[in-house]
């Protein structure tokens, strides 16, 4: 066996193996398949990358699941009662909505060695009754809900019975009048956020030693008593963006070994 010919090949192979894993990207990061059963049951969650995974969608305490035998509107929607009992209807934006539990939530986990950028939401098909929520927004928290940041713009929900896709309003719109402070959240600075397509949300854990848990909330606000929810029937609610991974330290060490072998061979 001619080791002089094999050693450079080995070092080049090691280099390609390591740097070939430096990044990976895709339009789809996570999808939730919302089924067409009585309301919505056991949706399939598709995680495109092992470094960025999600939990199931759940409703917070302020939204109560509607008994389908009592109400069938809006049709084809995993719907909830949006009411002033037990909490008042939030009239000052998504932060108040989250405080009183008027949101649909989920968690995502960013593993060590990964950099995640969320640049859009797709198939955000919301259904509502005429008098229900007038606005919706997507928020995230990286400190277990102690504070929240809006991701993208506000979706303005019309006073109509029916469903529509509001993805573009989150992706390209803006959000204003998102107040801070204590209830009723009508004091403090007013902030403005850009759409996700313009200002992606980034979770960089490339140098982290442990996973980062990100809490998300699709918050409903304003309007009056009614019903609101996400379209079911196999609707694929999607987070889009990119995912980049970096090698573990041991991989860098392996690359360094391969480089040394290559240099040693060249000198010989």
Q: How far apart are the first and last CA of the chain?
A: 17
- CB burial string 48-86: b at 16+ within 10 A, e below: bbebbbbeebebbebbeebeeeeeeebebbbbbbbbeee
Which of the four pLDDT bands, split at 50, 70 and 90, describes residue 66?
A: confident
Write the burial class of residue 24 (CB in 10 Å: 0-12 exposed, 13-18 middle, 19+ buried). middle
The domain ranges of the chain are 1-22+247-268, 26-245
* The pLDDT of residue 25: 57
Q: What is the phi/psi pair of residue 55, to 5°? A: -95, 180
pTM tops 0.85: no
Which of the four pLDDT bands, split at 50, 70 and 90, describes residue 76?
A: confident
* The pLDDT of residue 252: 47
Give the chain's length.
268
Q: What is the phi/psi pair of residue 142, to 5°? A: -110, 10
- pLDDT tens for each residue of 15-44: 433 444 455 555 899 999 887 544 555 557
Are the C-beta atoms of 226 and 133 separated by less than 8 Å?
yes
State what percent of residues in the chain have pLDDT above 70: 72
Which range among 7-11, 29-33, 188-192, 210-214 has the greatest average pLDDT? 210-214
How much is the average pLDDT of 221-234?
88
CA distances (Å), origin 121, targets 40, 143, 207, 227:
20, 22, 27, 22
Q: How do beta strands 226-231 and 77-82 pair? A: antiparallel
């Amino acid at each position: 066996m001619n080791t002089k010919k094999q050693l450079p090949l080995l070092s080049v192979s090691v280099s390609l193996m390591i740097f070939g894993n430096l990044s990976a990207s895709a339009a789809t990061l996570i999808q939730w398949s919302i089924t067409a059963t009585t309301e919505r049951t056991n949706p399939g969650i598709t995680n495109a990358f092992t470094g960025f995974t999600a939990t199931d969608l759940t409703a917070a305490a302020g939204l109560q699941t509607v008994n389908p035998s009592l109400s069938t509107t809006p049709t084809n929607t995993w719907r909830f009662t949006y009411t002033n009992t037990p909490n008042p209807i939030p009239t000052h934006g998504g932060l108040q909505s989250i405080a009183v539990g008027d949101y649909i939530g989920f968690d995502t986990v960013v593993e060590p060695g990964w950099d995640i950028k969320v640049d859009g939401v797709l198939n955000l098909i919301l259904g509502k009754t005429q008098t229900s929520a007038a606005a919706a927004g997507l928020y995230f928290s990286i400190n277990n809900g102690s504070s929240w940041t809006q991701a993208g713009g506000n979706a303005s929900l019309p006073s109509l019975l029916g469903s529509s896709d509001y993805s573009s309003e989150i992706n390209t719109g803006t959000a204003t009048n998102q107040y801070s402070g204590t209830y009723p959240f009508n004091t403090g600075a007013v902030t403005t956020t850009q759409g996700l397509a313009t200002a992606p949300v980034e979770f960089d854990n490339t140098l982290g030693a442990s996973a980062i848990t990100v809490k998300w909330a699709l918050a409903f606000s304003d309007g009056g008593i009614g019903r609101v929810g996400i379209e079911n029937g196999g609707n694929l609610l999607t987070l889009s963006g990119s995912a980049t991974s970096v090698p573990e330290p041991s991989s860098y060490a392996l690359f360094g070994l391969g480089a040394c072998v290559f240099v040693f061979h060249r000198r010989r």
